[in-house]
Chains A and B, each alone.
Chain A
Amino acid sequence: MAAAGGSDDTFIRIRNVSKLFGDFVAVDDVSLDIRRNELFSILGGSGCGKTTLLRMLAGFEAPSSGSIEIDGVDVTRQPPYERPVNMMFQSYAVFPHMTVEKNIAYGLIKDKVSKAEIASRVDEMLGLVQLENYRTRKPDQLSGGQSQRVALARALIKRPKVLLLDEPLAALDKKLRERTQFELMNIQYELGITFIVVTHDQEEAMTLSTRIAVMDQGRFRQVGTPKEVYEFPQNRFVADFVGTINIFAGTVVEIGDDTISVACDETGTTLTALGQHPVEKGQNVTIAVRPEKIFIGKDEPENVFDVSLKGVVDDLGYLGNRSLYRIRLPSGKIVQVSSQNRRRSVQRFLEWEDQVWLSWRPRSAAVLVD
Chain B
Amino acid sequence: MAMDHAQILPGTLDLLILRAVSLGPLHGYGILLRIGQISGNALLIEQGALYPGLFRLVRQGLLKANWGTSENNRRAKFYALTAAGRKRLREETDSWNRLAAAVASALAQQPEEI
A and B, one complex?
no
